[in-house]
Amino acid sequence: MTDTLTAQERWIRRYRPAPQDTDLSLVCFPHAGGSASYFRPLADALAPVADVLSVQYPGRQDRRSEPPRTSISRLADEILAVLETLPRRRLVLFGHSMGACVAFEVARRIEQGTSLDLLGLVASGRTAPPEVRDRGVRSMDDAGVVDEIRRLNGTDERLLLDADVVEMILPAVRGDYTAVESYRYRPGPPLRCPISVLVGDDDPQVTLAEAAEWREHTEGVFTLRDFPGGHFYLAEQQAGVVRALTEDLAEFRRAARRDA
């Protein structure tokens, strides 16, 4: 079935029609083990102001038959190739956790020489490169991987008690952790576009000080916001996150006009 789909159809999900009066696409990148549908509530909330597109990595949901990617660089290369086929819109990239790492690498590739118009990057729940959080999850047994999922408190406990569900999700989770734990930042020029960073104030994966280090990766405006909650504060603080993203989209537009 997947052989008959275009690259856009395999990689991109749009849960709400694009607003007719916008030229802006918000591209969302999920966390390790996550899927495009994680961003469906944001797509609903932001539909009036942006065309919200969610990236579906291989190895999960309707792409479960495909092997998960185990390299951030490969993911970034493949996603960039898909974004280059989209109608010519201005882009904002929004990634959570591992997704922030993928989005950052896509942003770097865009600015290194493509026809895409990148307005900004929003990084959520992720330490700034070159910091690496390597807990060795990729090498843990199945019980250890499930314990790590529990530690981050982003998955309904009832699902983790279902052996069939666990068996279904573990290959993608392990593949994603292989990609993110083996990622190594290659030094290069900072992004020209602005960076906004969002983080939970009780996130076991990243401190506020570590989140602030994203400032070193942009020549543009830098914004840091913290929210009550842990690594998956996005679900608990949806209204505040929607407000923050709406503000970021507006500020990114203003910055692009100033620089034009």
The residues annotated with a catalytic role in the active site are 97, 231
Q: Is 153 left (phi over 0), alpha (psi -120 to 50) or beta?
A: left
Handedness of CA 156, 162, 165, 167 (dihedral sign): positive
Distance CA 183, CA 30 (A): 16
Distance CA 182, CA 69 (A): 12
In angstroms and rounded to an integer, the radius of gyration of the C-alpha atoms of the chain is 17
**φ and ψ at residue 171, rounded to 5 degrees:** -60, -40
Distance CA 162, CA 44 (A): 29
- Decide if 98 contacts 106 (C-beta within 8 A): no
- Per DSSP bridges, beta strands 117-124 and 51-55 are unpaired
For residue 75, give the nearest of 182, 208, 219, 206 by alpha carbon.
182
